[in-house]
Amino acid sequence: MFVTRKVEFSASHICRNPELSDEENRRLFGMAANPHGHGHNYVLEVSVEGQPDPVTGMVLDLKELKEVLERTVVEPFDHRFLNYEVPPFDRVIPTAENVARDIWWRLEPQLNRQGRKLRLVRLYETPDLYVDYLGE
């Protein structure tokens, strides 16, 4: 059984590989390569798989999941410029793929316990583009 919780955060970023030319960056990332950055309202959905506890009837305490997401994702990411304020995005391009995987790495050790497993990190950069990270 999967349990999914959604949170939102707003942040700015630049997608640009310093080893490539301006022209190649523009082709790869379009306007996302603009030098002063731009922002998104990111929407994050996190899905955890597990079995309901026979006593509580819950796979996990949603209150606890909410706190984990707040502490691990919203607090460090919300209203930040990812490239300048949130490592490792000073050296890793903050594409939706890289941000989704970084969030997975932050969450996994906290959620994979008592038979539960993190299964999906879905990150919407806009309503027209989202990335699913499904683990290695």
Partner 1 sequence: MFRVTRRYQFAASHRLYTPLVSEEANRRLYGKCAQPYGHGHNYVVEVSARGPLEAHSGRAVDLAILDELVRRQVLEPMEHRNLNLEVEVFRRTVPTSENLGVEICRRLKRNWSTVFAGDWPKLETIRIQETSRNAFEIRADEVE
The footprint of partner 1 (CB under 8 A) covers 15, 17, 19-20, 27-30, 92-98, 100-101, 127-136
Least CB distance from residue 16 to partner 1, whole Å?
10
Least CB distance from residue 121 to partner 1, whole Å?
10
CA distances from 21 to 14, 102, 107 (A): 15, 26, 35
- 3-state DSSP of the chain: CEEEEEEEEEEEECCCCCCCCHHHHHHHHHHHHCCCCEEEEEEEEEEEECCCCCCCCCCCCHHHHHHHHHHHHHHHHCCEEHHHHCCCCCCCCCCHHHHHHHHHHHHHHHHCCCCCEEEEEEEEEECCEEEEECCC
Q: Which is nearer to partner 1, 22 or 67 (CB)?
A: 22
Q: Which is nearer to partner 1, 3 or 20 (CB)?
A: 20
Q: Which is nearer to partner 1, 16 or 60 (CB)?
A: 16
Least CB distance from residue 95 to partner 1, whole Å?
4
Least CB distance from residue 52 to partner 1, whole Å?
27
Q: Which is nearer to partner 1, 9 or 124 (CB)?
A: 124
